[in-house]
Amino acid sequence: MSAGSNRRFILLKMVNVIGLGYIGLPTAVMLASCGICVVGTDCNSALVKKLRDGKPNFIENGFETLFRSAVKFGIRFSSDYQPADIYIIAVPTPYCEITKKINPDYVCSSVGEVIKVCPEDAVIVIESTVSPGTIDRYVRPIIDENKLKTGKSVNLVHAPERIIPGNMIEELIHNSRVIGADNPEIGMRIKKLYSSFCTGEIVVTDIRTAEMTKVAENTFRAVNIAFANELAKICRLDGTDVYEVIKICNMHPRVNILQPGPGVGGHCISIDPWFFVGDYPDISRVIETAMTTNSGMPDYVLGRIYEIMKENGIDDFSRVGLYGLTYKENVDDCRESPTLQLLESQKRHFSVPIKVYDPLVTYDITANQYHNFDSFIFDTDFVVIMVGHREICDNMDKLKNKIILDTRNVCNLPGAYKL
């Protein structure tokens, strides 16, 4: 075999995953654990170094074992884009808070870097969530312009992920997926790649449909949560227990209401639905209202805190504590966290920041933050459960003599206030 054909052989087996965050890294290690040659690329060189030193950067059930297996299979990490046969781009897609439209800059700059190093006919798979039409509007022109300049063609695919933080590895294996491709043959090739670890059904469709399904799924969940939040407020005024109401409603074969909470965080449900509002403002009325309802929940909780303080004769915040900083239970991710939103809002009204503690946030992220559960409990008379981490569920007896506002319905101590 000549050097050239040997190189081609290596390239055919090579996947370069761009962006080693919550989606890119698990996907990269999963592929590598299946024996596929993978290089993970990230612009954060400190992260690359950590990964090279064998230290994964987040906690997920089963992730550490998978990471070790990927290392054994030879996964590599780099700050540079690599010549490869297939690229999987999993970089963030923020939105503009004013226009509510997607900011595709990270995706576009990654694609721009990929086309500098990729061989002819490489496949670029966008895994990042994008608003419907983003690939045609922003990504395709980069590919087309490059083809005009260099004559090099590349194939575009959109394969949005569906995994849930907290159960990522299980879901990576078992969830069904969608793959949108211009060319069905390329779609089938990428389906085969994902089938190396995914046992769920993989539907191949066009790019536009794949973009739409991803944003529609997250929007459906956001609207359902908003309904639960609104119902919680209605039940409160009506004097009924919203959790009991939802439990009974959900026994109906065609009803499935989600749970109310202190707000919606994370990088998906709290952002993706805004893409519809940004692009279709006149017809996304239900979605816009739902998103506004969800974003108003941290303030609603702050109002409840104030009411409960008044009822119990507490007139300053120094003995009040928020349990939980992450956006939901048993994950270490604080992006768009309802607790941080509540603290932000509280800062505008009162000078002393409320005490706060989260077992999974070991670094300082806000003022008055505790790193020890017992000291936090000792220093507070009124505990607001913002996140139902396993730790608090297993130690509820420590809250026995406290005033409690339970925004997650995890506490059954008598007298605990609910949303």
Count CB neighbours of 207 within 10 A: 25
Q: What residues from 116 to 145 belong to the interface with ligand SAJ (CB under 6 A)?
A: 129
Which range in 89-97, 101-109, 216-224, 399-407 contacts ligand SAJ by CB under 6 A? 216-224
Under rule CB under 6 A, residue 217 binds ligand SAJ: yes
User: What does the block give as tokens for 382?
Assistant: 């009124």
Count of residues making up the chain: 419
Min CB(374)–ligand SAJ separation in Å: 25
398 is catalytic: no
Under rule CB under 6 A, residue 198 binds ligand SAJ: no
Min CB(215)–ligand SAJ separation in Å: 9
User: What does the block give as tokens for 279?
Assistant: 């692009």
* Residue whose CB is less far from ligand SAJ, 180 or 266: 266
Min CB(80)–ligand SAJ separation in Å: 27
Question: Residues 114, 115, 154, 163: which binds ligand SAJ (CB under 6 A)?
Answer: 163
Question: Residues 258, 286, 308, 396: which binds ligand SAJ (CB under 6 A)?
Answer: 258
* DSSP string across 318-385: GGEEEE--SSSTT----TT-HHHHHHHHHHHH-SSPPEEE-TT--S--STTEES-HHHHHHT-SEEEE
Min CB(257)–ligand SAJ separation in Å: 8
Give just the sign of the alpha carbon dihedral 339, 262, 274, 128.
Answer: positive
Q: What residues from 222 to 241 belong to the interface with ligand SAJ (CB under 6 A)?
A: 225
Please identify which residue in the block is written with the tokens 């239970």.
Answer: 329
Question: Residues 161, 211, 332, 406: which binds ligand SAJ (CB under 6 A)?
Answer: 161
Min CB(105)–ligand SAJ separation in Å: 19
One of 191, 214, 355, 418 is an active-site residue; which one? 214
Q: Output the CA–CA distances (angstroms, integers) from residue 145 to 51, 183, 262, in the order listed.
A: 35, 19, 47
268 is catalytic: yes
Tell me the C-alpha distance between 198 and 211, whole Å.
Answer: 20
Question: Residues 88, 107, 269, 356: which binds ligand SAJ (CB under 6 A)?
Answer: 269
Give 251's contacts (C-beta < 8 A, 6+ positions apart): none
Q: Among 105, 135, 102, 106, which Cα is nearest to 271's?
A: 102
Q: What residues from 308 to 337 belong to the interface with ligand SAJ (CB under 6 A)?
A: 327-328
Cβ(341)–Cβ(298) under 8 Å? yes
Under rule CB under 6 A, residue 287 binds ligand SAJ: no
Interface residues with ligand SAJ (CB under 6 A) are 129, 161-165, 217-218, 221, 225, 258-259, 261, 264-266, 268-269, 327-328
- Catalytic amino acids? 214, 268
